[in-house]
């Protein structure tokens, strides 16, 4: 049995991971579940999966959760700090980091230091501190198994190619709901439009990031660290059908792609049971449903966030950390109708210009940068006019 800790069990990735676990009760066992504030779903999950420990980050709900689970042999903890504690839980084999945003950084570090393999769904961890995390994982001989569908695709394409050099990778992008639109159009869009993703059902934050192409920018940075590439070896290609999940091009020009119907349960299952594939009855791809695939260049002039992400990783140091922190603030503001779609890029760019650049950050520098960038971004949001 593989014993699993899920950090962020009530979100989109967390609930889909539990579906995979439910379908494979002889293979997986849940050790730890944690939720930010959705205590009702957490309680329901705990009653079904009977973990040894649950964490509710919102401390005001601790007593409610504790009471609801009082007849079960389940330890209940509260607070964000508890995430780092349960990330090291001795009985667990693998930690699925499905938290939203840079809050995933500290628990991921704790899990790596405790020698736990990481199923990484929290891409922000690698965006904020990719160099630090990948070096730490190497030092502790811990595997980072990507859950992000594009990175899972690359990871699957690389199986059996350990001795071969990568020339280039192509991350595919759906283009999101605003593909082909211009800035005039984007200046008027509201969250309801941005939240309608054509191919993938995801949480609100990543759906907005997909509409602005920031998600693809974060994925470029994630890929750089996961696969130890130069930025120039990473290209983004828009593929609106989202069937090819990404591609690797080797030094002889040969390309490998991983394909399938868009369903996050597949990369989740692959990461949790790596290196073995598991049988399932997920929907199968039918060629005749897709008589043609199409590809186009990503429009970085209209969707400036992708350009800003490339700029940040070329600059390196704490710049991607600034980009990520500012982005988390502006996405939250956009979801509350406090800022326009295009202004999100303006705020991020201004933070990248104004926050102190640190070329070789220590862990404490990342944490400080994250804090300061959030404060500045929030100020800029307040000053902006919708």
Nearer to Mn ion, 65 or 133 (CB): 133
| H-only helix segments in the chain | 12-23, 39-49, 62-68, 81-86, 105-113, 123-139, 149-157, 183-186, 191-194, 204-212, 214-227, 265-272, 304-315, 319-335, 343-354, 363-383
Total binding residues for Mn ion by CB under 5 A?
3
Binding site members for Mn(2+): 148, 150, 219
The whole-angstrom separation of Cα 54 and Cα 75 is: 6
Binding site members for 1-deoxy-D-xylulose 5-phosphate: 123, 149-150, 174, 197, 210, 215-216, 219
Q: How far is the CB of 149 from Mn ion (least distance, A)?
A: 5
Helix (H) or strand (E) run with residue 196 in it = none
Cβ-contact 97, 125 below 8 angstroms: yes
Nearer to Mn ion, 202 or 352 (CB): 202
* Of 31-39, 146-154, 174-182, 347-355: span binding Mn ion (CB under 5 A): 146-154
Long-range contacts of the stretch 153-157 (C-beta < 8 A, 24+): 153/244, 153/245, 153/246, 153/247, 153/257, 153/258, 153/267, 154/223, 154/226, 154/227, 154/246, 154/247, 154/248, 154/258, 155/226, 155/270, 156/258, 156/270, 157/246, 157/247, 157/248, 157/256, 157/257, 157/258
Q: How far is the CB of 108 from Mn ion (least distance, A)?
A: 18
Q: How far is the CB of 219 from Mn ion (least distance, A)?
A: 5
Nearer to Mn ion, 262 or 363 (CB): 262
The two tokens of residue 248 are 């690797």
* Of 2-10, 141-149, 261-269, 286-294: span binding Mn ion (CB under 5 A): 141-149
Nearer to Mn ion, 9 or 242 (CB): 242
328 binds Mn ion (CB under 5 A): no
- Residue of 31, 38, 41, 39 whose CA lies nearest to 67: 39
Binding site members for NADPH: 10-13, 37-38, 122, 124, 203
**Of 148, 209, 328, 332, which lies in the binding site for Mn ion, with binding defined by CB under 5 A?**
148
Residue whose CB is nearest to Mn ion in the complex, by number: 148
Nearer to Mn ion, 148 or 299 (CB): 148
Q: Tell which phi-psi region holds residue 50, choosing left (phi > 0), alpha (psi between -120 and 50) or beta.
A: left
Nearer to Mn ion, 77 or 331 (CB): 331
Q: How far is the CB of 201 from Mn ion (least distance, A)?
A: 13
Could you identify the residue written with the tokens 């084999």?
93
* Of 142-150, 311-319, 342-350, 378-386: span binding Mn ion (CB under 5 A): 142-150
Q: How far is the CB of 49 from Mn ion (least distance, A)?
A: 26
Q: Which residues bind Mn ion (CB under 5 A)?
A: 148-150
């Amino acid at each position: 049995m593989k014993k699993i800790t899920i950090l962020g069990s009530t979100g989109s990735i967390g609930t889909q991971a539990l579906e995979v676990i439910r379908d494979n009760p002889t293979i997986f066992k849940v050790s730890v579940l944690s939720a930010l504030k959705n205590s009702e779903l957490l309680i329901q999950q705990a009653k079904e999966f009977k973990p040894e420990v649950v964490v509710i980050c919102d401390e005001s709900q601790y007593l409610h959760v504790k009471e609801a689970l009082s007849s079960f042999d389940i330890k209940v903890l509260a607070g964000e700090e508890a995430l780092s504690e349960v990330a090291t839980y001795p009985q667990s084999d693998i930690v699925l980091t499905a938290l939203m945003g840079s809050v995933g950084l500290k628990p991921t570090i704790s899990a790596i230091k405790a020698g736990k393999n990481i199923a990484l769904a929290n891409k922000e961890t690698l965006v904020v501190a990719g160099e630090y995390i990948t070096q730490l994982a190497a030092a502790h001989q811990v595997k980072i198994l990507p859950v992000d569908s594009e990175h899972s695709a690359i990871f699957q394409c690389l199986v059996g190619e350990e001795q071969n050099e990568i020339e280039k990778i192509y991350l595919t992008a759906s283009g999101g709901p605003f593909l082909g639109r211009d800035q005039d159009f984007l200046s008027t869009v509201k969250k309801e439009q941005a939240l309608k993703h054509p191919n993938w059902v995801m949480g609100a934050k990543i759906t907005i990031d997909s509409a602005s192409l920031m998600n693809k920018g974060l994925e470029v940075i994630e890929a750089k660290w996961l696969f130890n590439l130069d930025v120039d070896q990473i290209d983004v290609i828009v593929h609106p059908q989202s069937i090819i999940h990404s591609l690797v091009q080797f030094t002889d020009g040969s390309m490998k792609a991983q394909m399938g119907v868009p369903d996050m349960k597949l990369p989740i299952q692959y990461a949790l049971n790596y290196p073995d594939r598991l049988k399932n009855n997920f929907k199968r791809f039918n060629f005749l449903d897709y008589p043609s695939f199409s590809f186009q260049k990503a429009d970085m002039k209209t969707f400036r966030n992708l350009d800003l992400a490339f700029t940040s990783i070329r600059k390196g140091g704490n710049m991607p950390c600034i980009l990520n922190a500012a982005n988390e603030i502006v996405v939250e503001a956009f979801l509350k109708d406090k800022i326009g779609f295009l202004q999100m890029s303006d705020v991020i760019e201004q933070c990248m210009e104004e926050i102190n650049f640190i070329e070789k950050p220590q862990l404490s520098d990342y944490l400080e940068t994250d804090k300061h960038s959030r404060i500045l971004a929030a100020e800029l949001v307040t000053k902006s006019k919708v």
